[in-house]
Amino acid sequence: MSESDHSGVRGANSQEATSVASGFMGIIEELEVEVPMRDGVILRGNLWRPDAPGSFPALLVRTPYGKAAAGHERYVRAGYAVMVQDTRGRYASDGEFVLFSEDETPDGRDGYDTIEWLAEQPWCDGKVGTFGASYGGWMQWEAAALAPPSLKAMVAYTIPTELTGVDWWGSFRPGRRIKWWLTTMAPDLRRRAGMSPPHTVAEARTIFEETELSLWLGLLPYQDLPRHMPEPLATYARNWLADPARPRWRFAEKHATITVPNLDFSGYFDHCNGSIDHLPGMQANAATALAREQSKLILGPYNHGGFGTRKFGDIDFGPAAQFDITDIIIRWFDHWLKGLDNGVDREPPLRYLVMGSGQWKSAETWPPPGAEPAEYFLHSDGQANPVSACGSLSRELPCDEPGDAYTFDPRDPTPTLWTVGLFTLPSDRRKLEYRDDILYYCTEPLTEEVEIAGHPQVVLYASSSAPDTDFFARLVDEDPEGIALEICYGMVRARHRNSWEQEELIEPGEAVEYRIELGATACRFQKGHRIRLEICSADFPNHDRNHNTGGDDLAEMEMQPADQTVHHSAAWPSRIILPRYND
């Protein structure tokens, strides 16, 4: 791992073209520009380009969320033509929509055709880049896998390498997924089908957040959800719920077909931070040396939509966390599309912010090499709740110690700490210290700083009265004079403890070993802070509740409480393994 880098991260109706003069360069705006696909389907996009002589590189954004009616002015001012296009079957574009949960979609071919169409326009110099987040990032990977010759670079960010990385360890994530289906994907499909409103995202979100949120999050069974959706979304959702753990995207295989470099942004608190896996995947398997050596990742304390933001609610990560993502993207394309020698190619593959330090560091890949695994063992006298009577974490092996028990009732699950937006966020765990279904294990106040980077792992020995249940592990930076900041978490569904594909129920009352990999993090625990590990059995509605019956949690309504026991003894040494960088 490198030394600290204090420099941080640098930064719909008319088809007639209209010229808008502003600043030193005017902008030509063309709305509903028609682009024919190879099968004759017409896709429509809005186009902005410099009102100046000559030709320019083109940038493409493809989205199923409704193309922008304005914006991207900074890219045009920087000398790019920018098209934002409705994807097939969405908003103004023709054709039938196919959701990305299906094994085969036309989006790769549509992206290829649009890239090559842009390159052939008289105002384009033949070089094209793509950018966009989340679903828009997925669109880019699909197109890049077909190697369009005019594509020179992309900025596909915050999209996991596999859909199952979103629905973690075989669990369904109802909060984010239900809202996305009903408020983001369904409205335009309802409009196109002539169904009753809501027909816009704004209308649907108002209804969901202000009137129906508790109705939808409490709906059971989840397999009934498609009955409330328009087609073809209903069919896609039904297929998804039939097997949420089945891999669909297979980007780890598609990396071998990618010829251009990618710039990715990801966040420790992003529900899509499986995007991190693109960097090592591209470094190992991309089709060209350029793509292998020049793909980059910028990683920090961000959620799905907050890249470059320093503050989330009351949690402030400091001035180092703040950056201008647009400036960074323009600089990326200035090098790869314009050939400017601005140093982009000499920057490290990975730059990441270490929480608690305010410092950016660099490494050759993720996770940063050189970590020494440090084991911290769980201890208690049989009581690890409330937090004022918590168990302990230490480097000493446990002896014969009684286990710690709690009851997990899926009808009263440990709640997720987030807002009505239903996006994962950094959270202050003190808000849940009133509950009796969370176990706490803490170090003594630290006498020296402890820095970690990578994926902590929890080895948990636990028993349950149920044939199937869940265990969640959370790593927390506890500031005695401030918040208890969740650093990362992971979970395991007992039936999937050994694999995604195979289900193995547990024997009630039997101690079972669970290995729980926590999410990506980088943190420096300061002197005087405590390292805290929390164990519980729910995170609802971020994850669906395990019904504790051993049945199909997506298809049934029956629920039953489970008596859980966490063991820590010489025979069952439960522990957390931290990827530590200093002693």
Q: Determine how β-strand 56-63 pairs with β-strand 81-86.
A: parallel
| Count of Cβ atoms closer than 10 Å to residue 194 Cβ | 6
| Count of Cβ atoms closer than 10 Å to residue 528 Cβ | 13
CA-wise closest residue to 172 among 470, 375, 463 = 470
Residue 270 bears catalytic tag: yes
Q: Which residue has the tokens 């942004």?
A: 265
Give the integer Cα–Cα distance in Å for 546 and 550: 9
- Amino acid letter for position 211: T
> Phi/psi of residue 153, each to 5°?
-170, 160
Residue 563 bears catalytic tag: no
Indicate the burial class of 289 (C-beta count within 10 angstroms; 0-12, 13-18, 19 or more): exposed
Name the DSSP class of 262: B
Catalytic residue among 255, 278, 304, 568: 304
Query: For the chain, what's the residue count?
Result: 583
Q: What is the DSSP string of 182-231?
A: IIIIHHHHHHHTTPPSP-SHHHHHHHIIIIIHHHHHT-S-GGGGGGGS-T
| Count of Cβ atoms closer than 10 Å to residue 304 Cβ | 20
Distance of CA 19 to the CA centre of its chain: 39
Those residues with Cβ within 8 angstroms of residue 190's Cβ, 6 or more apart along the chain or in another chain: 196, 197, 198, 199, 230
CA-wise closest residue to 111 among 131, 140, 86 = 140
Give the integer Cα–Cα distance in Å for 384 and 380: 6
Catalytic residue among 93, 134, 464, 537: 134
Residue 304 bears catalytic tag: yes
CA-wise closest residue to 308 among 259, 356, 257, 267 = 267
Q: How far is CA 516 from CA 50, 150, 489, 501, in A?
A: 52, 43, 9, 17
Q: Determine how β-strand 56-63 pairs with β-strand 124-133.
A: parallel
**Quick check: helix, strand or coil at residue 144?**
helix
Catalytic residue among 107, 270, 277, 470: 270
Q: Which helix (H) or strand (E) holds 565?
A: strand 562-567
Q: Which residues are known catalytic residues?
A: 134, 270, 304
